[in-house]
Amino acid sequence: MASQSKRYKQSLEAIDSERLYSLEEAFEAMLGLPTAKFDESVDIAINLGVDPKHADQMVRGALVLPHGVGKDVRVLVFAKGDKEKEALEAGADYAGGDELAKKIQDEGWLEFDRVIATPDMMGVVGRLGKVLGPRGLMPNPKLGTVTPNVSQAVSDQKSGKVEYRVDKSGIIHCAIGKRSFPIEKLVENASALIDTVLRAKPASSKGTYMKKIAISTTMGPGIKVDPSTQLVVNAA
């Protein structure tokens, strides 16, 4: 714990906490910080000028990052018949119906990271709401995880599809890669997410929409990014 605190302190000293970095500069600074003993995740936090208490200001969606997140995603698909076969052929780790739902309900089985369902299976999946919902695993048609096109949905999840949702504080937290990624890939992933969030701006949002942006590694401090530079880049 002491070494961890020392590393974090060194990282803090290396970052200008008052400066607003460009995206490229922020990642360069991040990669110059002391390393952990594992390949840390790289996360982005985007502070939005919205009030999530109002349904018309809820910012939520999903996108396939250009370079994924560097993680092997375990996909469970609720489907039957040809669709079950299609899911497995597309690379799903698990596919089925009542037997998988029973395993989740009775055994607390949760060895998967994403859940997809065909529309006809939502009656089965609905019974799992109290288990899947709080963990952010409930399939949702708006996120493309309730769909008859299971092969495409599985492919998207395996390719690095991420979901984002503004929290109660008006902040979106999302993983955008690993520390081992080249800077160019981190910049492209971050830019893709920022652009998507910009396009998702609610009509009822007033004033400054994208207030603050920060990037960080699992064990590192936040590095502030100048939102105005991203507005220019993404408007170009």
Report how far residue 158's alpha carbon sits from residue 114's, in angstroms, rounded to the nearest whole number. Answer: 10
Angle formed by the axes of helices 23-31 and 227-235, nearest 10°: 130
Q: Give me the residues paired with residue 42 across strands.
A: 177, 217
User: Would you say residue 1 has pLDDT above 70?
Assistant: no
Note the pLDDT tens digit of each residue in 122-159.
999 999 999 999 998 999 998 899 999 999 999 999 98
Residue 199 phi, psi (nearest 5): -70, -20
Angle formed by the axes of helices 82-89 and 150-158, nearest 10°: 30
- Residue 96 in contact with residue 78, Cβ under 8 Å? yes
pLDDT at 219: 87
User: Would you say residue 223 has pLDDT above 70?
Assistant: yes
User: Would you say residue 112 has pLDDT above 90?
Assistant: yes
Rounded mean pLDDT of the chain?
90
β-strands 161-165, 210-217 pairing: unpaired
User: Would you say residue 193 has pLDDT above 70?
Assistant: yes
Q: Which two tokens stand for residue 16?
A: 């200008």
pLDDT at 236: 44
Angle at 163 between CA 157 and CA 169, to 5 degrees: 165
- What's this model's pTM, rounded to 2 decimal places? 0.80
Confidence label for 165 from pLDDT (cuts 50, 70 and 90): very high
Domains contained in the chain, CATH given = 17-69+161-235 (3.30.190.20), 75-158 (3.40.50.790)
User: Would you say residue 235 has pLDDT above 50?
Assistant: no
Q: Which two tokens stand for residue 230?
A: 């991203």
Note the pLDDT tens digit of each residue in 54-65.
999 999 999 999
User: Would you say residue 90 has pLDDT above 80?
Assistant: yes
pLDDT at 82: 97
- Residues 105-125 as b or e (16 or more Cβ within 10 Å = b): eeeeeeebebbbbbeebeebb
Q: Which two tokens stand for residue 103?
A: 């395993």
